[in-house]
Amino acid sequence: MPKALRDDETEAFRARIGEAAARLYVEEGPAAVTMRRIAAELGCGTMTPYRYFANKDDIITAVRTRGLHEFSAALEQALASPGDGRMRSRAVRDAYIAFARAHTATYRLMFEFPEQNRDNPAYREAHERMWQTIAAHVDVMIAEGVVKADAVILGHQIWAALHGAVMLEIAGLLPPGYDAASLHTRTAGTLFDAAHPKPDRH
């Protein structure tokens, strides 16, 4: 009879299952994600993953949900760092890039593939938290008067540029001497300059 796992051991093994599934999904495609293949990747019995998840769709939903919460938490912590709005925005950028580098398969699964989890309440909650986090640093700069813009739109512009830079870095397609942070600094600077409040000429 298998030994009962403590709660922390259960969560750790669920995370390992998720990591294996995410890696298979982004490297080989959705068809590669089977309970048998995941078990082989983890070196466990074929039926073991069923003790933690009902099926592969549950695994993918759990990976995305957990990933979104961890991603949001990293950005929220960065936004809470000391400094003015621009400094805190750079901290958010750095946390974003660090997450993508450390959890590349999960990052790609979260943002590169079509969503199939919107009916899941836990996923919807994680997704909403992520949306709020993406624009939070822009809200800070608007409050400071550094930029004048729609926080959601500017937040998405910055996000689109950062995601593009991250994916180019992952693919090894950035120009020599650039990484995701240095490329995004130039792009974000242009966006911030365009959103800088203009002096009243009247």
* Same domain? 36 vs 102: no
Residue 58 lies in a domain: no
pLDDT of residue 43: 94
**Distance between CA atoms of residues 92 and 138, nearest Å:** 11
CB atoms under 10 Å from CB of 134, counted, come to 21
Structure tokens at 133: 């986090």
Cα separations (Å) of 9 from 4, 74, 126?
9, 23, 23
pLDDT of residue 147: 93
Residue 97 lies in a domain: yes
* Same domain? 163 vs 88: yes
CB atoms under 10 Å from CB of 145, counted, come to 10
- Quick check: helix, strand or coil at residue 179? coil
* Same domain? 68 vs 49: no
* Same domain? 157 vs 134: yes
* Same domain? 47 vs 69: no
* Same domain? 24 vs 84: no
Residue 201 lies in a domain: no
**Distance between CA atoms of residues 160 and 20, nearest Å:** 27
Query: How many domains, in total, are found in the chain?
Result: 2
* Same domain? 96 vs 154: yes
pLDDT, tens digit only, all 202 positions of the chain:
455 567 778 899 999 999 999 999 999 998 999 999 999 999 999 999 999 999 999 999 999 999 999 999 999 999 999 999 999 999 999 999 999 999 999 999 999 887 777 789 999 999 999 999 988 999 999 999 999 999 999 999 999 999 999 999 999 999 999 999 999 999 998 998 898 887 765 5
* Same domain? 40 vs 100: no
Residue 1 lies in a domain: yes
pLDDT of residue 5: 60
* Same domain? 171 vs 81: yes
pLDDT of residue 8: 79
Residue 180 lies in a domain: yes
- CATH number, domain of 190, equals 1.10.357.10
- CATH number, domain of 15, equals 1.10.10.60
Residue 122 lies in a domain: yes
Q: What range does the domain containing 104 cover?
A: 64-195
How many angstroms separate the most distant Cα atoms in the chain? 81
DSSP conformational letter for 47? T
* Same domain? 22 vs 83: no
Q: What end-to-end distance do the CA atoms of the chain give, in Å?
A: 81
**Distance between CA atoms of residues 54 and 59, nearest Å:** 8
Residue 191 lies in a domain: yes
pLDDT of residue 103: 95
Residue 59 lies in a domain: no
